[in-house]
A = this chain, B = another copy of it.
Amino acid sequence: MNVVVLCGGVGAARFLRGLMHVVPAKDLTAVVNTGDDLELHGLTICPDLDTITYTVADAIDPGRGWGLENETWTSLQALERFEAVRPADSTAATTWFGLGDKDLATHLYRTHRLTEGATLTTVTAEIAKAWEVPFRLLPMSDDPIRTHVETVDYGTISFQEYFVRHRHNIAVRSLKFAGATTACVSPDVLQAITHADRIIIAPSNPFVSIGPLRALPDLERALQERRENTVAISPLVGGKALKGPADRLLSELGYEVTQKSIATIYNPIASSLLIDTIDADQAPAIAATGMTPIVTNTIMSDLLTTKSLAQTALQT
């Protein structure tokens, strides 16, 4: 049974850690958002891919939820020296984006390989192999797609400025996925989607994690064709996102903060929606949109619960 998971970062990473115990690694493909990617210090950084890699490798810092455990920050601290000499219009010596010394090695390797002409798909496979990720990890595209956030008070800023620098604690007007309409979906991704027996949308943010994938016209079309084989896991539990700004974004982008809204958003590409037992009363509203509601425990508090959630997502 070939399984494809559509992924953002933290939520997807945690889900995959459970799923990989339930599906043979050779049958599992993760298709990952690259709209969060950024160029900083001349390096290409892919936060969602790395969060999945580090999580699956059991090397993620459990406290922060991003980056590597037992990390040091020598380079980043040494960059502070240059803040005072950087011109006003430069973003060099940016230190609000946390890059640990060990983590830097991943970006150095990736950037070096990209300058050699390797595709992001190829480099991602190499990095995944180095970290012994057992399943196939695919960036959604080899072309750069960058999520831009139109904010109420700070103009249009990059995703990481929104997410990290402002801790997603500012009002959003709209999202744009620069490069998405002209980017090519990775051929490996299209093939994986076409041949999947089951497609699972991880409990990621529908707007900023899954949104960039859907902004690729060929990928959205391919997903719509596989709607009957696709199940989405809602990131909402009791009207809140367990992590990140999904709840706030729903509201700011004109939706009610309900499972019905998640169903409306995913309806074109998924036929079932997994919601938490706490939201069981919202099942009829989901059914009314034409999706099949499935009520289960969606809080991935430990590996056992996560495996159980993965099992449910596979069986529906």
Contact = CB atoms under 8 A, between A and B. Distances in A.
Nearest to A44: B42
Contact of A84 (B74, B111, B116, B130): B130
Interface in A73-98: 74-76, 78-79, 81-82, 84-87, 90-93
B74 A93 contact: no
B112 A41 contact: yes
Interface string A101-137: 1111110110111111010000000110111000000
Contact of A101 (B43, B72, B112): B72
Contacts of A116: 90-92
Contacts of A115: 39, 42
B127 A105 contact: no
Interface size class of A (residues with CB under 8 A): 35 or more
Contacts of A253: none
Interface in A194-251: none
A78 B101 contact: yes
A21 to B, nearest CB: 24
A40 interface: yes
Contacts of A112: 40-42, 90-93
A102 B75 contact: yes
Nearest to A113: B92
Interface in A2-35: none
A27 to B, nearest CB: 22
A92 B75 contact: no
A65 to B, nearest CB: 20
Contacts of A79: 105, 108-109
Contacts of A76: 105
Contacts of A106: 78
Given A74-B74, A79-B105, A85 B40 contact: no
Given A112-B41, A112-B42, A105 B131 contact: no
A196 B86 CA distance: 30
A106 B75 CA distance: 9
Contacts of A82: 105, 109, 126-127, 130
Interface of A: 39-44, 72, 74-76, 78-79, 81-82, 84-87, 90-93, 101-106, 108-109, 111-116, 118, 126-127, 129-131
Given A41-B111, A78-B103, 17 more contacts: A40-B112, A42-B44, A72-B101, A75-B102, A75-B105, A78-B101, A78-B105, A82-B109, A82-B126, A82-B130, A85-B127, A86-B126, A90-B118, A92-B113, A92-B116, A93-B112, A104-B104
24 contacts: A39-B115, A41-B108, A41-B112, A42-B42, A42-B111, A42-B112, A43-B111, A72-B72, A72-B101, A74-B101, A74-B102, A75-B105, A78-B102, A78-B104, A78-B105, A79-B105, A81-B105, A82-B127, A85-B126, A85-B129, A85-B130, A87-B118, A92-B112, A101-B101
